[in-house]
Structure 1
Amino acid sequence: MKLVLFYHSLISDWNHGNAHFLRGVVSELLDRGHQVDVYEPESGWSLSNLLAERGEAAIDDFHLAFPELRSVRYDAATLDLDQALENADAVIVHEWNPPEWISSIGECAGRLGCTALFHDTHHRSVTDAATMASIDLSHYDGVLAFGQAVADQYVRHGWAAHAWVWHEAADLRRFKPMPAAEQQKDLVWIGNWGDDERSAELAEFLIEPVGQLALSATVHGVRYPQQALTLLQQAGIEYRGWLPNHRVPETFAKHRCTVHVPRQTYARQLHGIPTIRMFEALACGIPLISAPWQDAELLFRPGTDYLVAADGNEMQRHLRAVLNDSELAQSLVRNGLETIRARHSCAHRVDELLHILTTLRAQPLRRSVGGGLV
């Protein structure tokens, strides 16, 4: 099968978590013998920031870590879509493309008889519904949504005729337990500060507990304002900036536990959607404690695969327990690995994708046009 993917970036994961999942899915598809062409804009925001911060060496490091992965960097003004989609069985277009480009790709796919799917891995369906409603998906067969709550938005509002849940997952080729370092720090958190979408939560569930317990801790990520850096310093937390995602497993191995702090939108509105970091942490066999979120889709076993802290005080108690009770820590590692390996690998998600595509090719669904169906 030939698949053509239009995404923000395969090369760069600078403030771009979707790259993690994309890499795992593409690697799995290639390993199964499928042809996969990945297109990314030549001057994309994530890649431009990565180059500005780390230079071409970061790109070279990506290619060494992922020798099987390549992308076509294009200019939308000059790319020949008919040629790009020639003989393609399916095209998947990520939601972080310009609306007019999404529409153009869908129209071309429809003209060429190519299955077209739209992939949503963000919260804009509730935080910027007007923009998402304006995207023309009339030539798409449906939406791949990274949670039921997002899929429901498309169907409820009539933005698309069909939507399937396609959760993110861990790339088990790279994310797996590694030998623990001889000298481990207590805690690591890997994540971006962003646009104040979880500033209060990071203070309550990460910074203050670390400071109160006087833990040795490390934070990796980008877009930390000076105020955030000051808070980390005051709590005795070492800030180490951007971390290439393929280096995460070895970083986890240098620490004894980690935490999951979802953004406010996922904790309060889009229930059932964890960050991809949660899948990756459990896959690496590091004990995890999470700030509150509702596992509405029963992805995990809260209290068994990981611990849940209702507030900052409970986070302190859980951290103290995990760091001082080796049996508890090992049970979390064992159970978390069991769930990831049984249900949440990129191989599982490729199985789901191929099932959708095979079904669509055998029995094409009606596409939505102007709010109706054809």
Structure 2
Amino acid sequence: MRMVIFGLTVTSSWGNGHATLWRGLIRALGGMGWSITFFEHDTPYYARTRDLHHLDGGDIVVYPDWEVIRQIAEHAIEQADVVIVTSYCPDAVDASLLAQSACRGLKVFYDLDTPVTLARIEQGELPAYFGPEGLRDFDLVLSYTGGTAIDALKTTLGARLVMPLYGHVDPERHRPAEPRAEFAGDLSYLGTYAADRQAGMERLLVRPALRLPERRFVIGGAQYPLEFPWSENIFFVRHLPPADHPAFFCSSRLTLNVTREAMARRGWCPSGRLFEAAACGAAIVTDAWPGLSSFFKPGSEIIVADTTDDLVAALHLPDSDIDEIRRRARERVLDEHTSAVRARDLDRILSDARHGSTPQQPLKEAV
């Protein structure tokens, strides 16, 4: 089976979560017999920060301009069994139109940013990765978010068939690693700066750091502004390539997840960092959001902290409790949230859609 993807980027993980997800998924699909080509616009931002030059399980076409690549893209689409266009792809509208006219197989849109998409539509703005027709012309829409977002994509953008395809982790790339002194801390956080995460960061990292000056807090990521409220015991590690993520997660006693506002409000949108950290054997503290218990069991596989007091209490948990949490979380993610599991889900969803049957939910949503 041939698959063509038009996405944001697979070659650079700088400041986005798409690349790592695609790398794991494509690697797993390639192992199942899929032949995959990923088309990526050569944008300067990602060109300066590439951390992948060979794609396991697939081929990469990096192009400077849509018109330059259009004929090659059309030929690839004509030969494809499945064409996937994604959110934030710079040429998503052109690629979608070409897929509608040239694809004889399944036409799919994958929104890896569903809460952001829906929030912008609620504000009266149509994201640049859709044309005025929305999603009505696609055979299948995949959503990084489940729950109420599934119906919202149908009512607001005209999607006919929507299935969740959640985040995941490649355990060959994310697994326990030796701690490194430069990453050592009592609490770590790995993620790109986002203004709508700042309130959570202040509540669950900045204020605990002020309250516990003897503890060490470490932030790894990109795009942090100078005005971020640093303190003497908050240390910063500039953007880390995926190869360094395991050591980062394994160098702190606890690692923190803070959910973006739109994602927390809708729920059912686990960050890929959650699965990465768990696969590395980290003990995770997270803010609460609807659907969390369908991915990890609070109190047993993950620690939930809503307030500064909750976070401080987590830091005072005995080592034995933290070790049990990290062990159970790793077991859960290896059973249910690997790239191989998601690849099998996707393969089944695509097969069902091609044959006209209704795909089954890949994950039972707990109430």
* TM bucket, shorter chain: 0.7 to 0.9
TM-score, length-normalised on structure 1? 0.86
The separation in 2 between residues aligned to 1:306 and 1:165, in whole angstroms, is 22
Aligned with 1:249 (options 246, 252, 255): 246
State the match for 2:365 in structure 1: none
The separation in 2 between residues aligned to 1:162 and 1:186, in whole angstroms, is 45
TM-score, length-normalised on structure 2? 0.87
In the alignment, structure 2 segments of 5+ residues that lack a partner are 359-367
State the match for 1:337 in structure 2: 330
Q: What's the offset of the Cα at 1:33?
A: 2.6
Alignment RMSD: 2.2
Q: Structure 1 counterpart of 2:328, which letter?
A: N
Do 2:116 and 2:263's aligned partners in 1 also have CA atoms closer than 8 Å? no
Q: What's the offset of the Cα at 1:345?
A: 0.6
State the match for 2:38 in structure 1: 38
The 5 Å alignment of 1:1-374 reads 1-43=1-43, 46-48=45-47, 51=48, 59=50, 61-63=51-53, 70-74=59-63, 75-79=65-69, 80=71, 81-97=73-89, 98=91, 100-108=93-101, 111-122=102-113, 123-129=115-121, 130-132=125-127, 134-148=132-146, 149-157=148-156, 159-181=158-180, 184-194=184-194, 196-214=195-213, 215-228=215-228, 231-232=229-230, 234-268=231-265, 270-295=266-291, 298-321=294-317, 325-363=318-356
SS in 1 for 2:205: helix
Do 1:119 and 1:143's aligned partners in 2 also have CA atoms closer than 8 Å? yes
- Per-residue displacement from partner, 1:150-177 (whole Å, max 9, x unpaired)? 3221123352111001101111111112
The separation in 2 between residues aligned to 1:302 and 1:146, in whole angstroms, is 21
In terms of mean alpha carbon deviation, does 11-20 or 156-165 score higher?
Answer: 156-165
State the match for 1:369 in structure 2: none
Indicate how the Cα distance of structure 1 residues 69 and 47 shifts in structure 2: closer, same or farther if over 3 A, else same: farther
In terms of mean alpha carbon deviation, does 183-192 or 340-349 score higher?
Answer: 183-192
Q: Structure 1 counterpart of 2:170, which letter?
A: D
State the match for 2:363 in structure 1: none
Q: What's the offset of the Cα at 1:285?
A: 0.6
Q: Structure 1 counterpart of 2:75, which letter?
A: Q
The separation in 1 between residues aligned to 2:157 and 2:42, in whole angstroms, is 33
Percent of pairs with identical residues: 24
What count of residue pairs does the alignment treat as equivalent?
Answer: 344
In the alignment, structure 1 segments of 5+ residues that lack a partner are 52-57, 366-374
Q: Structure 1 counterpart of 2:321, which letter?
A: L
The separation in 1 between residues aligned to 2:310 and 2:138, in whole angstroms, is 46
Q: What's the offset of the Cα at 1:300?
A: 1.6
Q: Structure 2 counterpart of 1:246, which letter?
A: A
Indicate how the Cα distance of structure 1 residues 210 and 155 shifts in structure 2: closer, same or farther if over 3 A, else same: same
Do 2:219 and 2:237's aligned partners in 1 also have CA atoms closer than 8 Å? yes
Q: What's the offset of the Cα at 1:291?
A: 1.8
